[in-house]
Amino acid sequence: MTENGSSPTSRRALLLAAGSAGVAALTAACSGPAATRGAAGQPSATSTAVPSPGGSTPACVLAVKAGAGPYYLDLDRVRSDITEGREGVPFRLDLTVVRVSDGCRPVKDAAVDIWHADASGAYSTGGATFLRGTQVTDGAGRGTFRTIVPGWYAGLAPHIHFKVRPDRRTETISQFFFPEDLLVQVYARPPYTQRRAPAHPNARDSRYRAAGAAMTLALAPDGVGYRAAYTVGID
């Protein structure tokens, strides 16, 4: 089954096309002391000092929106560890939610859902709930998930879906990607080796080519796995 994602709005497209000069101009609107790096080579918005593997650069950038795909389930299962015993390379994801229109102010009590495929490329369906979960952001807009690096499926770039719900009326939906060179290394490890991995897991996906520059996570080693920090800017 394929997933349908919506195209970025013109505003978001302009933000992404602005490059380093545009990001520097946007930074003037945000007086926070530091930022997590939201993508490989691209900083994302924050107004709090949150260390990240990729370094820190102040910026204020909206997350690129995408569709939820066919596998979203409204479970409201609040938990940090979503693995449920699923095997794979461990991955910790630290998220910070900020409101761009409010000077990059952290958003407290926002519900953040994530969901993704397991190492075999399968999503939990029916009564299963593995690799799905919700965090409610703290006073600094932060929440943490412990999961695994997702597998690949259906010709799409490996990804993690997320949905931010700051209140009951609004939501922001998007997805994170992973650096392709890192995926190649991960997929050479069990249990991913039970299938033959694509030589170029990302390059074949048009969605990655459109949004990967902004939504690719910057991973750093963390024990036997990896970790990443990302700041999600919402309207």
Count each helix (H run) and each strand (E run) in the chain, helices first: 4, 9
**Average pLDDT of span 42-57:** 35
CA-CA distance, 117 to 24, in Å (whole number)? Answer: 36
**Average pLDDT of span 98-124:** 96
Amino acid identity of 229?
Answer: A
Residue 30 has pLDDT above 70, yes or no: no
CA-CA distance, 27 to 59, in Å (whole number)? Answer: 5
Question: Percentage of residues in the chain with pLDDT exceeding 90?
Answer: 69
- pLDDT tens profile 210-219: 999 999 999 9
- Predicted local confidence at residue 4, as pLDDT: 45
From start to end of 184-234, where are the E strands?
Answer: 220-222, 225-234
Tokens 């938990």 -> residue: 79
Q: Which of 37-46, 65-74, 98-107, 108-117 shows the lowest mean pLDDT across its residues?
A: 37-46
Q: Which of 21-25, 51-55, 228-232 shows the lowest mean pLDDT across its residues?
A: 21-25
Residue 27 has pLDDT above 90, yes or no: no
DSSP letter (8 states) at residue 101 = G
CA-CA distance, 138 to 143, in Å (whole number)? Answer: 7
Residue 13 has pLDDT above 50, yes or no: no
- Predicted local confidence at residue 224, as pLDDT: 97
Q: Chain centroid to CA 208: how far?
A: 13
Query: Are 139 and 108 in contact, with CB atoms under 8 Å apart?
Result: yes
Smallest Cα–Cα separation from 219: which of 205, 204, 229? 229
- Predicted local confidence at residue 59, as pLDDT: 56
CA-CA distance, 138 to 48, in Å (whole number)? Answer: 12
Residue 219: which residues within 8 A CB-CB, separation 6 or more?
A: 53, 91, 178, 179, 182, 226, 227, 228
- pLDDT tens profile 170-213: 999 999 999 999 999 999 999 999 999 999 999 989 999 999 99
Q: Which of 20-29, 111-120, 199-208 shows the lowest mean pLDDT across its residues?
A: 20-29
The dihedral formed by the CA atoms of 95, 201, 15 and 23, expressed in degrees to the nearest 10 = 70
Smallest Cα–Cα separation from 86: which of 118, 129, 127? 118
**Average pLDDT of span 4-10:** 38
Q: What are phi and psi of 113, to 5 degrees?
A: -100, 140
Comparing 13 with 144, which gets the higher pLDDT?
Answer: 144
- Percent helix / strand / coil, the chain, rounded to 5: 15, 25, 55
DSSP letter (8 states) at residue 21 = H
